[in-house]
Structure 1
């Protein structure tokens, strides 16, 4: 009994020392107070990571929120900003600078009228920076008159001239006792003995000839004599019969021409009938080359009926040059003499015949040949119908005859300046000169042909042109005759035209980025002001722009030389000079941007023009901005 009391006291003591139950208030205090430092450290790391990831976005928003609002006058649509030194540079904002001279832009009111649309025939317009022009490798050349010819290259085979082929046949029956020429390919000359023929009929006829002569029977004598001549017996053989007084037993068959034996049909001792073939002979002093011309080149060939008229065929004979692998680089000259009337449907070609002199027999029948057919422009129907009429040609040629040196290129071109354009083109066509552009300048889009023309420093426009057939000059450079779209003196792009066209057509925006251009303009888009860059060849560009003026204005502009408003600018350096009249006197300006200033101060402008005319090479150091 006493032993159980201590145990009960001990149990009650343990029950009193059990920890109290923890509630939500305890855990809240634990999270906020005990782990607060650790939690803040983790949160700080997350914030830093987010800032690093979205740094560009946050920076963009910051610039957007802190960007100052533009002034009212800067965003007003009533004004625009331009470069006083280069008026064609126009911007909508004042914070930009001129890309040419890098000077600040000046403000002016926008013009009420729309910009001038692209002229007819111009497809698009684009300009490039000087650096991009150099990077793209753009080069220009002047459109001028060039001596051209159409060259057609054909392939054919050397053949015998059919007009020189001869076949020798037996004119009387008999036996061939001797063949002097018994090998094929032997060379024979006129009068050479070919064969010796025994004929009983020859014996009878020659005896009749002797009897008629002795008996004085003229009728029988003439009959026998004529029969011998028809058999091919020559006069010396007949004279030998009459002189010897014995009938002939053998007939010598002689060569009637010079040539080669190309076939032998008989052997010695063989009996032949009258008309039996003996030899085939061919004269190789002239040979034929049968070539093939594609049907798209048939338009350049003379009409078929001309070859049936000997006089016209001789006048229209086209020169050709033939070469063969067997003769190396040796060239053989000849003429086109015939065109077959039918086209081979399988090859779509027409056969043509060239006749080539072959005095040394170097051209052997059966060898392949390459023939170049040279057609002058005056014999191409398309060019003749477009450029010249007979009356215009006669008038132009009459003036050329009076020229001191009409055959030289310089004398020809100087004389043609006095001739109307139609007659001048006809005369140039007669001498083989055509207004042409290099092949590298032409871009064929499939629907039209385009040439890029330089109209201002680093400013180009795509021009739709009408061209003639592809031709060659004397150096073998390919050109296209210009029928419409360009004039003499225009600057056209000859290198880099394809790259320029590809960028402006496929992606104008990308083209602007790639070339560093200020923009492009197409004929189906709203026109916009173009921005010029520095000139690559200022003198050539000035000559090209001055050439667009009439002759009388061109002389006055050349004398004035500089713009009276911006006297550092030569006339023609910023495009075609602008002509205005001040008090009845003509004044030339470098660009339309100077017209307002000139009209506001007419007396000062005229005084400047007079000084420029008196001292054309003097420029004032100060100029208005």
Structure 2
């Protein structure tokens, strides 16, 4: 009997535990369902500001219903929900402290925009001399010269024997003996036309001796870039004998990024620092900006002229070029305060302690760690200089647009409301009533809609006559206020 009583007691105890556990689970599930159900958030004392589509949070609606963009219900936005004040974001003081959020003032200052690029030293192709034979003849001697040699102005290059000069000089001397000034002037002119220098003509006239040999000298000092003559060669009038490149100045060719080339101008000054001469700075000047950009590197070639005293600069050397822009005055903010999305640049302006709103700005040049602001801000405003990406994420979730972008979106909406556009697409009827029709329709490129299922209003109840689910139709609709209204519909054969 005692054993039976013990077993009965244990059974009753186990049953009580099971019943208690089940009751607690029932209450927990019903409590959770109440807090998560649609009616829980819609308490009578909460004021609804507007309704919105979570996938298109910037679009606001005055009443609940289905989203015109997606097959889902609109969500309410309540007045007591935090995180948004007007077109801004509210952040608690504790969060600001934990994020280490810093602000910086918008200041007006002066700066000289500079562009730092790498340049390569080249020979100055504007300082070139071509040495040519003035008359046909023979090469008797080539002086010890070779391409790459550096020579001084007047240095001998080659001795030529010119038979045409010999015959013309003898005729000149014979005419001189006649003492006829007219014939003498004509004979002297013939010698000049044969390319004979005035010094040689004077020497022949003064000495009475024929000068058949002529030493060709360098017209300027510099580098022998080419030497096209060898001993024993026959040369003709006008044949090139040598090419000499001057070295008093050199070019420095730099590739300036396309985005920074707009401020570069001919005559602009620059500073050059070469790896071969550490600690030295060379002054340069922009002499030309080539009219064609490199398609692969997206750079513009800029040529600078650099004085070369002592011929220390050698072609092929590389150096750092700093193009000095003119001094400008502009609003400046820290570079880290600007969020660049690719389509726009945004900063967060401080409205009050813990309250911020995004502003789209126009950027100018960047100098050190400062960015010039061409539009969007005023001097004296405070902007967020750190942790702004977290604020931007919150703003994106709330559908908050920068000031300029919001104005653009509002302008586009107003324009669309003024002149409603009509769109024609094909769809399949899902549900139909005298005032509304739900269709699974194809994409609408004009509105950037994907293929989806949504409800449309009917402009006339007669449009619903003869229509039934699963029927394929082609329909035309337009936007009227917050509704999309079907104005024409016709059946399409499958």
Inter-partner Cα distance in structure 1 for 2:189 and 2:25: 120
2:369 paired with 1:477: yes
Inter-partner Cα distance in structure 2 for 1:523 and 1:239: 88
Change (3 A) 1:49 1:250: farther
Inter-partner Cα distance in structure 2 for 1:186 and 1:43: 116
* Residue 199 of structure 1: aligned partner: 162
Q: Post-superposition shift, 1:137? A: 2.4
Q: Post-superposition shift, 1:434? A: 1.0
* Residue 218 of structure 2: aligned partner: 255
Q: Post-superposition shift, 1:346? A: 5.3
Q: Secondary structure at the match of 1:191?
A: coil
Change (3 A) 1:179 1:127: same
Contact 1:448-1:464 at 8 Å conserved across structures? no
* Residue 356 of structure 1: aligned partner: 306
Change (3 A) 1:206 1:53: farther
2:8 paired with 1:39: yes
Q: Secondary structure at the match of 1:207?
A: helix
Q: Secondary structure at the match of 1:203?
A: helix
For each residue in 1:334-370, what CA deviation from the matched residue of structure 2 results, as whole angstroms up to 9, or x when unmatched? 2333333344555555444333333343443345555
* Residue 125 of structure 1: aligned partner: 89
Gaps in structure 2 of 5+ consecutive residues: 32-43, 48-83, 403-494
Match of 1:138 among 85, 95, 101: 101
2:283 paired with 1:333: yes
Q: Post-superposition shift, 1:57? A: 9.5
Match of 1:375 among 317, 325, 331: 325
Q: Secondary structure at the match of 1:364?
A: coil
1:4-403 equivalences in 2 (<5 Å): 34-41=3-10, 43-44=12-13, 123-129=87-93, 131-154=94-117, 157-229=120-192, 234-301=197-264, 317-323=267-273, 325=275, 330-345=280-295, 348-367=298-317, 371-376=321-326
Q: Secondary structure at the match of 1:148?
A: strand
- The size of the alignment, in residue pairs, is 354
Q: Post-superposition shift, 1:478? A: 3.9
Inter-partner Cα distance in structure 2 for 1:466 and 1:60: 51
Q: Post-superposition shift, 1:448? A: 3.4
TM-score by length of 2: 0.60
Contact 1:337-1:353 at 8 Å conserved across structures? yes
Q: Which has the higher Rg, Structure 1 or Structure 2?
A: 1
Change (3 A) 1:194 1:483: same
Inter-partner Cα distance in structure 1 for 2:227 and 2:400: 77
Contact 2:347-2:361 at 8 Å conserved across structures? no
* Residue 505 of structure 1: aligned partner: 395
Q: Post-superposition shift, 1:279? A: 0.5
Inter-partner Cα distance in structure 1 for 2:229 and 2:22: 107
Cα RMSD after superposing both structures:
4.0
Change (3 A) 1:57 1:342: same
Change (3 A) 1:60 1:275: closer
Change (3 A) 1:34 1:140: closer
Inter-partner Cα distance in structure 1 for 2:23 and 2:275: 76
* Residue 329 of structure 2: aligned partner: 433
Q: Post-superposition shift, 1:264? A: 0.6
For each residue in 1:562-606, what CA deviation from the matched residue of structure 2 results, as whole angstroms up to 9, or x when unmatched? xxxxxxxxxxxxxxxxxxxxxxxxxxxxxxxxxxxxxxxxxxxxx
Point out the more displaced range, 50-59 or 343-352.
Answer: 50-59
Gaps in structure 1 of 5+ consecutive residues: 1-29, 63-74, 79-116, 303-315, 377-430, 509-520, 525-625
For each residue in 1:142-165, what CA deviation from the matched residue of structure 2 results, as whole angstroms up to 9, or x when unmatched? 211232344445556443322211
More helix by share: 1
Q: Post-superposition shift, 1:452? A: 1.7
For each residue in 1:382-405, what CA deviation from the matched residue of structure 2 results, as whole angstroms up to 9, or x when unmatched? xxxxxxxxxxxxxxxxxxxxxxxx
Q: Post-superposition shift, 1:171? A: 0.5
Match of 1:465 among 360, 374, 393: 360
Contact 1:322-1:332 at 8 Å conserved across structures? yes
Contact 1:233-1:251 at 8 Å conserved across structures? no
Inter-partner Cα distance in structure 2 for 1:366 and 1:216: 61
* Residue 476 of structure 2: aligned partner: none
Q: Secondary structure at the match of 2:145?
A: coil
* Residue 383 of structure 2: aligned partner: 492
More strand by share: 2
Q: Post-superposition shift, 1:330? A: 4.8
